[in-house]
Amino acid sequence: MATAPQERSNLVRTFELLWNLREHSGLGRKAGLTVDQITSAAIEVADAEGLDSFSMRAVADRLGVGAMSLYRHVPGKEELLDIMVDRVCAEVRYDNEGPASPGDWRTRLEHIARSNRAMIERHPWLLRLFPRRPPQGPGVLAKYEAELRAVEGIGLTDVEMDSALALLLGYVRDATAGVLEWKTVSERTGQSDDEWWMTIGPLLDRVLVSERYPLAMRVGTAASEHYKGVHDPEYTYEFGLQRVLDGIEAFVRTGRE
């Protein structure tokens, strides 16, 4: 386990790398690699294989160099992960300029939610990195700045602006994780929804009694008919997103009254 001074040293080194304040550590001969190349390769490895197989050696193999070559540029795996997070945050683009007008802030928040979901779907390994202190790099800060502009000037205090974003993005992160998990259920279990229902349906018929489980039978039947199956993760995701936005809108409206 790293000592506190070492952790502080690596934090400083990571910050310098994020802001391009220092490219090489000065250890040994200057290699033909850059932090940008290493980060790109690392993201490719994580996207393809997830974090279970992620390592400095795996990144080095993708670049066709020895693992020790990477350490001339990046202190270690944890620091590289921070740089990767900052890079993928920089991929997110918003078209909002200046403070939100009273009539369009909800649309902007909805756009933020969809953009963050798309980022997670492109890079699902991000879900494994929570909770984690966000790297204070240009990608993370630019994304945060743009997201704050969506709720600037609508009647929230600074702390409420930050909390509204935390609420929205927390929902997006957790709900997207649920959608991605559901999409792999058939693969993980070896059964499609129809196959699962053909097995479990007759068994349920033997034990379900409407007098004992009236709500379960009524609601379960209505839901499965609506979903045309066991579950519809996209419907559930959208339902939850709109309710989160409803809650923020109600809070903003209350503050103005």
| pLDDT at residue 5 greater than cutoff 80 | no
**CATH-assigned architecture of domain 105-256:** Orthogonal Bundle (1.10)
What is the reported pLDDT for 62? 97
d(CA 110, CA 238): 10
d(CA 221, CA 223): 5
Token pair for 233: 């993760």
What is the reported pLDDT for 256? 65
| pLDDT at residue 195 greater than cutoff 60 | yes
Mean pLDDT for the chain overall: 90
What predicted TM-score, i.e. pTM, was given to this entire model? 0.89
Token pair for 253: 């409206």
Q: Quote the Cα angle for 137-36-140, to 5°.
A: 20
What's the chain's length in residues?
257
d(CA 163, CA 142): 18
Residue 253 confidence class, pLDDT cut points 50, 70, 90:
very high
Nearest C-alpha neighbor of 122 from the set 211, 48, 210: 48
Residue 28 confidence class, pLDDT cut points 50, 70, 90:
very low
Residue 211 CA neighbour count, 13 Å, CB half: 0
Question: What are the start-end ranges of the H helices in 19-76?
Answer: 35-49, 56-63, 67-70
List all residues 6 or more positions away from 176 whose beta carbon is below 8 Å from its beta carbon: 117, 120, 121, 127, 237
Percent of all residues in the chain with a pLDDT value above 70, rounded to a whole number? 90
Structural domain boundaries in the chain: 4-90, 105-256
Question: What are the start-end ranges of the H helices in 50-157?
Answer: 56-63, 67-70, 77-90, 105-122, 138-149
The yes or no reply on domain 4-90 and CATH 3.40.640.10 is no
Any idea which of 41-45, 134-138, 210-214 has the lowest mean pLDDT? 210-214
| pLDDT at residue 46 greater than cutoff 90 | yes
